[in-house]
Structure 1
């Protein structure tokens, strides 16, 4: 993997990330394709919107379809017929969310499948092997996702285990075709976050992620930790803020020097009838749109906005039509793609802070 920062505006960075299966500009947003599919849209749609990097999940792919099928298919890219870049989350967050169905030890995580209750085990070494074998461009290490709230002692123990697992992940690596990203943990405790950065930064990882945020903590704490950690990460490596995806949060993190984002918000909200627009969010199922024949967003040129009205989209939603999820998702993902495009252009032109301020004023005035 290659990464170059080509322009800066304050701490905001514009760059290029090149992997085995292509190139993406940063800052970038990764649509979530947990099981090898972005919900409600096709890969053709994803590509036409301008995305070249998507996210999948080791935990879910391991359970279904499983390593044997992915190996027989020739890897994840060939199985799903996506010729762009793929990053896989290690599944650590998903496993920890199983609660009583999982048990953590120094060796790894023992868990029961949410599908059939069968018992499984993830070690840092197994996760790296899985990611390499299915041929993804970027693989996240297995970490211990610190919950919120957590005591200082718990967060310290969790962070230290994450570092030990990161070292084991590096030693397990067998190819440079799959880049490996480390994950900074430490909860909301600044000294633990900085210690984690200090321990991980000198190691030969291809990139660094900030994990354990957007897990229920107050937004002020998420911003505080992002502002603290991002500038301390290696300048020549991509920085990834995991699971954060509201437009205002992306803008704040970009201003701190973050390069990569993922979140289910645009696709999940679309399926629930919430659409992002240049004027803020709208709830398309609201009765006030019953006779509204204007597009969702007059400033948007996506397929949905070019062809259908708010009234029609509301009709589809309240009627339970599958097309509601499809058209809403196309719009939301297109909105995010254009937002990231505008962010990159503003960094290159040295106008990022002005763009950020204008965007925030626009959406706040509509709320």
Structure 2
């Protein structure tokens, strides 16, 4: 009997004896009975780690472990809303005919940016790291490039053939681990920054993207792939402003006071290449967008011809970085929400929760519960 007591297992949470034939789980190295595991543990929406329910640092819509909360989220100082922080931020501008880049491995709201007087153009970027350690500042945007002129390079999206291009010898290996950097290397390989080299770059990379570049002569280039781009022209004050989505644009304009001025949207479509020179003149070219077959099929469709476009697929791939289940994104896409709308929801879980609740009501409880399982 004494030997049996030495070998006995007890739940670290409730103290119950776990029989030899009973299953058990481990949480942070501690043995837990299945009843306590089901009743008192949950999963971090960002990293997938099992944690105690009482140790969740999220809100009613998002479950977070302490590490993810401390390193990737913050709270609004006014209303206490949970906010996903970007991992790094940077700007580029031209000073004395030279491209200057200032970037830090910190969220944008924690960095104080100062551009010199007389600056004609500023290109900014906030990063959610998916490849390349943000702590190494050389992995963060914007990147510096050199062809027939100096330029700064930024990318919104994810590229997935960077390793293949290096393995095939198309571009050399680099100490910069970020997938986006292959765009710089492909332009540098052409030895020039113009519409031809940008077309070559855009048609060589695989993934979802919108690229922006600022050269040393204050010309801004926009390569519109499947990722969103919202560009406005304020003709009366001689200003162009761009952002990834309309929602982000409206918030920024209101904060800057620019919402008081009349503006007109500049249309951009996938495959467009734009160049805005220092005088505000726009010239255009095009590239041929790639068509990808998605590995995701609609939940209601057994027909293998069903597929998502590349922007939709990338949302499904990386929504987990925001603590959102891909099945919930599938539901919203199938219901008819656009990628831009869903991107806004990823940044604001209150909007996401409201949309899922409405879709759940429209589809019916049984369909939703049987096919989808978000943590909201």
The TM tier, using the shorter chain, reads: under 0.3
Larger Rg: 2
Greater helix percent: which structure? 1
Alignment TM-score, normalising by the size of structure 2: 0.26
Greater strand percent: which structure? 2
Greater relative contact order (CA < 8 Å, ≥ 6 in sequence) = 1
